[in-house]
Chains A and B, each alone.
Chain A
Amino acid sequence: KQEVTQIPAALSVPEGENLVLNCSFTDSAIYNLQWFRQDPGKGLTSLLLIQSSQREQTSGRLNASLDKSSGRSTLYIAASQPGDSATYLCAVSNTGNQFYFGTGTSLTVIP
């Protein structure tokens, strides 16, 4: 069974800092990997999707990389802002249907 781990569980940084969130998974035979943002009590907002044949994806200040062989992905956030404060979740799918989620990294950006 796929196991997804996210480190750190919580992170607090001053505004303007660049930061990296980590995601690791146990089964490298993945179909795709998706990063999400979740605000308290809300649904999930898709940030970036990386298909198994890709190494990275970028959207604005966000860059996600994927290293399938080592079972790792990172989400890089440049020039962090208070509005980036949320929980960030990583999810992987081996078959294209069932997604396995980590428990998330809770990010606080201090003004």
Chain B
Amino acid sequence: ETGVTQSPTHLIKTRGQQVTLRCSSQSGHNTVSWYQQALGQGPQFIFQYYREEENGRGNFPPRFSGLQFPNYSSELNVNALELDDSALYLCASSLAFGQGNEQYFGPGTRLTVT
């Protein structure tokens, strides 16, 4: 059984650019959630995808968008990057409404916006 993987590990972008982060869910999981974690804070929910459809969204602007693919992997896209977007981006997979919806997290992608 493979765990949740994310790529890239680190990324440096310039303000105004666009970025795509990738996540492969744990084997057998059909739900992927994305979180943003600023330094010293707890993770903040961005959105969740279930069977390729958005299934809940947190308080993030539309320039944060996502996709889920038939193999349940997922992408997070952020347009028009701002300095405040610098954070650790975490992906979590789960089996929707099974096993209590326990979330399993990947190692994260550290995004720095300059």
Q: Which residues of A are interface residues toward B (Cβ below 8 A)?
A: 4, 31-32, 34, 36, 41-46, 49, 51, 89, 91, 93, 95-104
Contact = CB atoms under 8 A, between A and B. Distances in A.
A49 B102 CA distance: 7
B108 A98 contact: no
Nearest to B88: A41
A103 B31 CA distance: 24
A4 B45 CA distance: 13
A36 B46 CA distance: 19
A104 B43 CA distance: 10
A25 to B, nearest CB: 12
B90 A43 contact: yes
B42 A4 contact: yes
B2 interface: no
Interface residues of B, number: 32
Given A44-B105, A46-B102, A101 B90 contact: no
A102 B48 CA distance: 19
B14 interface: no
A98 B90 contact: no
9 A-B pairs with least C-beta separation? A101-B42, A44-B105, A43-B107, A97-B56, A51-B100, A49-B102, A43-B105, A96-B101, A98-B45
